[in-house]
Amino acid sequence: MSGVRFKQHDSSLGADALGVDLSQPLSESDVALILGALSAFGVLRFPDQNLHPAHIKAFACRFGTLEINVAGAFQEPGMPEVMTLSNIIVDGKPIGLSDAGQDWHTDMSYSAEVAFANVLYGMVIPRRDGVVLGNTEFADMYAAYDDLSDEVKDRLAGVTATHDFNKFWEVMRSRPGSTRQKLTEDQRRKKPPVSHPVVLRHPVTGRKILYANPGYTMWIDGWDRAESDAMLDYLFAHQLKAEYRYTHRWTENDLLIWDDLCTLHNAIPDYRPDEPRLIKRCQVMADRVFNPAFAQKARFDFTFV
C-alpha cells in the first residue's frame, strides 16, 4: 500500500503529492501512482523536500532516460543530467542558465525523441515585499484540444508540424542582457528541425493532446505558409486562454514535476539580478512512457486529502 496522497488544485491542472520523502528510494507502487497522477493532473508538487542533486536525478530517472542538454553548460559536476538554472553570479561568472524557459513552450518538442516530464527543485526563491517571484505558468493541452471545434479537429487530424530548437534559442538571445551564445554548427547538427503530429494521444491516459507550441513550432507541414501561419496563430492564442492556465507559486524545497506532453509552460522573469533564484533541473525523455509495458503500470486509485 502506497503512502502517497494527493491534494488536487482548483484548476484543471495540478496537485500536491504528500506523504513521500523523495530522498528515499520509491517503491514500484509509488512510481505507478505518481505516473498516473502526473499524466492525469499535468503538474505535481512535492513540498518540503530536502534533496541533493543525486536525489533529484534518482527520482527523475524512474520515469525515463534523462537528457543531457545540447548546450552543454551549467551541469552538476559528475552529473551532466542535472542542470542549474540561476541568475546568481559568483566571481563574475554565472552559476546557471539565467533565462531558462522564459516564454511559452513545450520542452524537447524540437527533438526527434520528445520529452515526457520536467523535474525542478527550488533551492533559492526570490521575493519582493513578501511576494514570491519567478513563478512558473502552465497551460492544459487536454482541455485546449477538447475545446477545439469539430471543424478544426478534422483539419488537424493526421497532420504534422515542424519544430526547431533554434527558434526559441534565438528569441532568448535577442532579449536585452542575454548571455546566450549563437548555437554552433555542431549544436545545430545535433538538433535539426523535426516533425511531430499536431494532435497526439497521451500514452498513459489515452486522451488527445494539442501538441503545438509558440516556442518551437514553425509551420504545419505541407500546408501553404499563409494557411499554416493563420492556423498556428489561432492555436497559440487558443491554448493560452485563461481557463486553461495554472500558476505554480514556488516555495523553497518544492520539487515540481510536470508532464511535457499535456502541458505548455512559461517561467515568469519578474525578478531582478539582485533577487537570487536557484533551481536544479532534470529533463525526462519519453522513451519509457511510450512503451506500453511501462505506461500500463500507471495507477489511478488516488487517495485525496
pLDDT at 176: 72
pLDDT at 173 over 80: no
pLDDT at 70 over 90: no
pLDDT at 174: 63
**In a 3-state reduction of DSSP, which class is residue 37?**
helix
Q: What is the DSSP string of 56-108?
A: HHHHHTTSSPBP--TT--SEETTEEEEEEEE--EETTEESSBSSTT-SSB-TT
C-beta of residue 286 within 8 angstroms of C-beta of residue 261: yes
C-alpha cell, 194: 523535426
pLDDT at 175 over 80: no
**How many contiguous H segments (helices) and E segments (strands) does the chain have?**
8, 20
User: Cell 504545419 belongs to which residue?
Assistant: 220
Mean pLDDT of the chain, nearest integer? 94
Half-sphere exposure of 244 (CA within 13 A, CB side): 23
C-beta of residue 130 within 8 angstroms of C-beta of residue 290: no
Q: How far apart are CA 126 and CA 90, in angstroms?
A: 17
C-beta of residue 236 within 8 angstroms of C-beta of residue 111: no
SS3 content of the chain, % helix, strand, coil (to 5): 25, 30, 45
Which range is least confidently modeled, 101-110, 196-205, 215-224? 101-110
**In a 3-state reduction of DSSP, which class is residue 47?**
coil
Determine if the pTM surpasses 0.85: yes
Q: How far apart are CA 238 and CA 251, in angstroms?
A: 30
pLDDT at 181: 77
Q: How far apart are CA 267 and CA 96, in angstroms?
A: 15
Structural domains in the chain, CATH included, are: 5-295 (3.60.130.10)
Q: What is the pLDDT of residues 216-252, one digit of tens each?
A: 999 999 999 999 999 999 999 999 999 999 999 999 9
User: Cell 533577487 belongs to which residue?
Assistant: 275
Q: What is the mean pLDDT of residues 44-51?
A: 98
- For 10, other C-beta atoms within 10 Å of its C-beta total 7
Select the more confidently predicted residue: 190 or 46: 46
Q: What is the mean pLDDT of residues 139-158?
A: 98
Residues in the chain: 305
C-beta of residue 264 within 8 angstroms of C-beta of residue 30: no
Q: What is the mean pLDDT of residues 66-93?
A: 92
pLDDT at 104: 95
Q: How confident is the model at residue 182 (pLDDT cuts 50, 70, 90)?
A: confident
Q: What percent of the chain has pLDDT over 70?
A: 97
pLDDT at 191: 82
